[in-house]
Amino acid sequence: METLTTMFREEIKAAVTTASASTVITKDNVYQEGDERIVSILDKMAGSLMLPGSGVDGMENLEGLLAKARSGKSCLLLLEHYSNLDLSIFSLLVRQAGGRGGEIADALIAIAGAKLNEDSPVVAAFASAYTRIVIYPSSYLTGLPPEKKQVEIPRSLSINRAAMKALEEKKTQGKLVLVFPAGTRYRPWDPSTKKGVREIDSYIKSFDYMCCVALNGDILHVQKTDMMNDAVSRDVVRVTAGPIRSCAEFRERARGTVAETDTSRDKKQAVVDAIMAELDELHTEAEKKRKRP
């Protein structure tokens, strides 16, 4: 398999030189509009790797969720996360599916960690393709020396307050808020990366409806080094959108699995575990049907 750099050297260079979004995140720029010029570059990259037979299952669920969003309801998309092309794959295949696919793609607002903007000009360029609200995850503070924490904790609070304000403003304006509940790409050598992050419960608590989305097929394979060494391959890729769920009902049911006397389990984590279980089920069933190359 080739690396991302060797196969897409010119496209990556074009994305970096074209990107114009601010890379340093402050409370004043947490909401960032997508750049269609970068989308076209990523469409070319992802499209060249996806084989015939790639597409979307459950499109009616996505269209139904969009209808609820257009009626003023707050709606979440919860996606599996395998690579830095996942959002590109979802956006491209939904648009290619026809129907209201273009409207669904236009309605997306992704929740993105600040490191996507700040750690690498290439990752920042890729992130700038799609409209997003940037947050500062608590995991970023883990392992920082005390003097660095003194600087970063106030910054994280400032960014997250602004992000939550932006989210409250946007989520009832016909948008579909896209979140990766694992919080990071799945790494096969680290099973913990398949575990959902506890903070996702806050999103479920504050939204009206949700839809889990599985991604099957591998075109970008995460490596132990940096993103530019990720390996590419061609594959049949399927997006599978599960049924629309009431967030309140889903959350109540998941929390109900934890007895009040059970101090060994956390109710917030139980909600996220239920999301990951639904994603696993969608993924397993879709893989049975996927036509491999």
Q: pLDDT by residue (tens digit) across 28-57?
A: 999 999 999 999 999 999 999 999 999 999
**Confidence class of residue 258 from pLDDT cuts 50, 70 and 90?**
confident
- Bridge-based pairing of strands 31-32 and 176-179 is unpaired
pLDDT tens digits, 79-111: 999 998 999 999 999 999 999 999 999 999 999
pLDDT tens digits, 233-242: 999 999 999 9
Query: Are the C-beta atoms of residues 189 and 224 closer than 8 Å to each other?
Result: yes
Please report whether residue 80 resides in a domain: yes
How far apart are the C-alpha atoms of 29 and 23, rounded to whole Å?
10
How far apart are the C-alpha atoms of 178 and 111, rounded to whole Å?
6
Return the CATH number at 10: 3.40.1130.10
**Mean pLDDT within 59-69:** 98
Predicted confidence (pLDDT) at residue 1 exceeds the cutoff of 80: no
Number of domains in the chain: 1
Please report whether residue 36 resides in a domain: yes
Please report whether residue 40 resides in a domain: yes
What pLDDT is recorded for position 118? 80
Please report whether residue 72 resides in a domain: yes
At 6, is the secondary structure helix, strand, or coil?
Answer: helix
Please report whether residue 253 resides in a domain: no
Please report whether residue 255 resides in a domain: no
Please report whether residue 42 resides in a domain: yes
**Confidence class of residue 204 from pLDDT cuts 50, 70 and 90?**
very high
What pLDDT is recorded for position 293? 78
What are 42's two structure tokens?
A: 């990523």
At 239, is the secondary structure helix, strand, or coil?
Answer: strand
What is the residue-averaged pLDDT of the chain?
93
* H helix or E strand, kind and range, residue 246: strand 245-246
**Confidence class of residue 166 from pLDDT cuts 50, 70 and 90?**
very high
**Confidence class of residue 264 from pLDDT cuts 50, 70 and 90?**
low
Phi then psi for residue 47, to 5 deg, are -65, -35
- Bridge-based pairing of strands 31-32 and 132-135 is antiparallel
CA proximity to 275, closest of 292, 250, 249, 252: 250
**Mean pLDDT within 176-196:** 92
How far apart are the C-alpha atoms of 207 and 203, rounded to whole Å?
6
**Mean pLDDT within 128-148:** 91
Please report whether residue 77 resides in a domain: yes
Q: Containing domain of residue 61, as a range?
A: 2-247+273-289
Instruction: Find where tokens 């409250």 sit.
Output: 168
DSSP string, 206-234: H-SEEEEEEEES-SEE--SS-GGG-EE--
Number of residues written out for the chain = 293
Instruction: Find where tokens 């993924």 sit.
Output: 283
